[in-house]
Amino acid sequence: MCLILVGWQVHPDYPLVVAANRDEFHARPTAAADFWPDAPDILGGRDLQAGGTWLGATRRGRFAAVTNVREPGAPPGLRSRGELTSTFLRSSLSPIDYAEALVAADYAGYNLLLGDGQTLVYASNRGIASRELEPGIYGLSNHRLDTPWPKLLKAREQFAQALETLPGEDAFFSLLADRRVEADEDLPNTGVPLVWERRLSAVFVQSANYGTRASTLLLRDRAGTVLLHEKSFAADGSEFQSSRISTAV
């Protein structure tokens, strides 16, 4: 996943609001968001290659999401980053205890958000100490939390405006669907070729082999009920599937 926007304890009715795009190779097999047959407490999409998830929640109020760190040429990790989230969702450890117990060297570069309904924690294995987040609006892409990449700044501002429209959902999916690329002079230098810096500067990434596979809105209300709405996209950018599921059912 390459873009996560989070509103933590800033909305009176929804203490956790998450809008996210998962960017991945189109050839990687994936299951759409649903409750997992082997772990029926977990709600989320699933990577069918390694078995983990990029974003998920539980009936008990736990939440987890992960992005990679863009490091061209870096070796793969010993373990899949999707395991970081799925293992947390299955566990009973507090977010901070779980984050600090990880063997960070087993994984390629990651950014991790972990919540249990009481706290929200940010963790990374790129020289940053795990920390509990104060109430606020946060953005995460493929570098550190709130790194001021143009697409993150733009999306975070639109996310703040979309919070005012809840319980409406359209504004969130509209911002996640933005395919505009940034001007060359505004692009970050992350070590990929310029043509890819351009493509990846869009909130919604589209190319034949790699791009935005899913857009997700997650809402957790004051009672602890989670609503997860996920839209899935083909390589041409067309939507082909939508799942809207609540833990109340």
Residue 211 CB: number of other CB atoms within 10 A? Answer: 25
- One digit per residue, the tens of pLDDT, for the chain of length 249 reads 589 999 999 999 999 999 999 999 999 999 999 999 999 999 999 999 999 999 999 999 999 999 999 999 889 999 999 999 999 999 999 999 999 999 999 999 999 999 999 999 999 999 889 999 999 999 999 999 999 999 999 999 999 999 999 999 999 999 999 999 999 999 999 999 999 999 999 999 999 999 999 999 999 999 999 999 999 999 999 999 999 999 986
Name the CA dihedral angle for 97, 100, 105, 107, rounded to a multiple of 10 degrees: 50
List the CATH number of the domain containing 164: 3.60.60.10
Distance CA 140, CA 165 (A): 22
Domain enclosing residue 45, as ranges? 3-246
- How many CB atoms are closer than 10 A to CB 156? 20
Among 76, 52, 75, residue whose Cα is nearest residue 65: 52
Cβ–Cβ under 8 Å, residues 187 and 201: yes
pTM of the predicted model over 0.95: yes
Q: What is the pLDDT of residue 1?
A: 59
Q: Could you give the residue ranges of the DSSP H alpha helices within the chain? A: 82-90, 95-101, 150-163, 170-176, 194-200
CA atoms lying within 13 Å on the CB side of residue 224: 8
**Preceding omega of 150 cis (within 30 degrees of 0):** no
The first and second tokens of residue 49, run together, are 């290659």
Nearest to 106 by CA among 78, 76, 75: 78
Query: For position 52, what pLDDT does the model report?
Result: 96
pLDDT for the residue 249: 63
**Residue 168 is encoded by which pair of tokens?**
């409406």
Q: Which amino acid is at 219?
A: L
Tell me how many domains the chain contains. 1
Read off the pLDDT of residues 38-84 as tens digits, 9 standing for 90 and up.
999 999 999 999 999 999 999 999 999 999 999 998 899 999 999 99
In whole angstroms, what separates CA 204 from the centre of its chain? 13
Which residue from 70, 51, 146 is spatially nearest to 109, judged by alpha carbons? 70
